[in-house]
Amino acid sequence: MSLPVDAKSNSSFIKQLEALILKVSGGDLSRVDGIGIGAAGRLDIRKGTLVYSPHTSLRDVKVKLLEDRLGKPVTLLNDAVAAALAERSIGAGRGHDNLIYVGIGTGIGGGVVVDGRLLIGKDGNAHEMGHMIIDIDGRLECSCGGRGHWEAYTSGSGVPNFARLLAEMYKGKTPFLNRVKSRRIEAKDVFDYAIRGDGFAKFVLDESATVNAMAFANLVDLYDPSIISVGGGVALKNPDLVVSPIAARLARFTFNAPPNVVSTPLGEDAPLLGAILSVFRPPF
């Protein structure tokens, strides 16, 4: 079940979550062992608070309130960290003690397992890889307000801005270049034009693949994984244009031995499955 977030207020969002849980359980909470929540944004998981949501106006939402309202334990994780938990348990990471999940979608997030342990951090935010600085000149601004962050360049929300930046230096003329210079574009447009063979769109995705490979190399050299599983809507809808080029370029940038890079077999449900698993396998 998928619903738009009710972000009018924190209380309306909590009520929406409560109603959704009751609907899914058929109103019978005796069937519910616990509530697992995977949320994008900065968290305080020990207080059970969503501190900052980058895609909504929600701030300081105490999702732990659901424990008192419904009488069930609540586990809160970042959505991509939940996906890493799912990968280790039932996905591409089975049998791997060192793995990384990277979600390339509207934003870029991830989760990391090192020596069999899911990395959490002091507040639950040891995963914000999308906010790594990959451009020291800070040419593009991230949605968080920082500059030069990975997410600002190759996420679903970032790649249109990256295309506009690259249009300033591209030599030649193509239909997509004209479109970029004359109107608003979305990530889907970049991929659609590249599939049609447009030279500038292919150039944008080639540059994006290099940025992604450099960012992946940073992760490899930090955590030394044996596998990186890639999810998120942008990557899963365009694996040949996103995942395969990263795998092909990665060895060029890593100090450590490069791992296998694969699309998640769990699809876009990886965060959801991880949130469910967190109820039965609390990571902290």
Q: Of 152, 159, 247, 169, whose CA–CA distance to 208 is shortest? A: 159
Residue 100: enclosing H or E segment and its boundaries?
strand 99-104
Whether the predicted pLDDT of 129 surpasses 90: yes
Selected residue with higher pLDDT from 118 and 1: 118
Q: What residues have CB less than 8 Å from 78, skipping those under 6 apart? A: 38, 39, 40, 41, 43, 109, 111, 124, 125, 127
Distance from C-alpha of 96 to C-alpha of 85, rounded to nearest angstrom? 12
pLDDT band at 57 (very low <50, low <70, confident <90, very high): confident
Q: Rounded CA gap, 7 and 56, in Å?
A: 7
Q: Among 187, 238, 243, which residue's Cα sits nearest to residue 212? A: 243
pLDDT range class, residue 53, cuts 50, 70, 90: confident
What's the whole-number mean pLDDT along residues 135-143? 95
Tell whether the model's pLDDT for residue 5 goes beyond 90: no
Share of the chain above pLDDT 70, in %: 99
How far is the C-alpha of 245 from the C-alpha of 265, rounded, in Å? Answer: 18
Q: What sign does the dihedral 239-233-82-267 (CA atoms) show?
A: negative
Task: Check whether 217 has a pLDDT greater than 80.
Answer: yes
Helix or strand run (H / E) with residue 234: helix 233-237
pLDDT at residue 56, as a whole number? 82
| pLDDT of amino acid 3 | 82
CA 265, distance to chain mean position in Å, is: 16
Is the pLDDT at 237 greater than 80, yes or no? yes
Which pTM does this prediction carry? 0.93
Return the C-alpha torsion angle 108, 87, 78, 276, nearest 10: 140
Mean pLDDT (whole number) for 188-194: 97
Domains of the chain: 10-78+272-280 (3.30.420.40), 82-270 (3.30.420.40)
| Segment among 143-147, 162-166, 231-235 with least mean pLDDT | 143-147
- Is residue 110 within 8 A of residue 130, CB to CB? The reply is yes
Residue 217, helix vs strand vs coil: helix
- Encode burial over 175-198: b for 16+ CB neighbours within 10 A, e otherwise: ebbebbeeeebebebbbebbeeeb
**pLDDT over 90, % of the chain:** 84
For the cut 80, the answer to whether the pLDDT of residue 52 exceeds it is yes
**Range 63-77 average pLDDT:** 93
Enumerate the β-bridge partners of residue 104: 108
- Residue 201's pLDDT band (cuts 50, 70, 90): very high
99-114: average pLDDT: 96
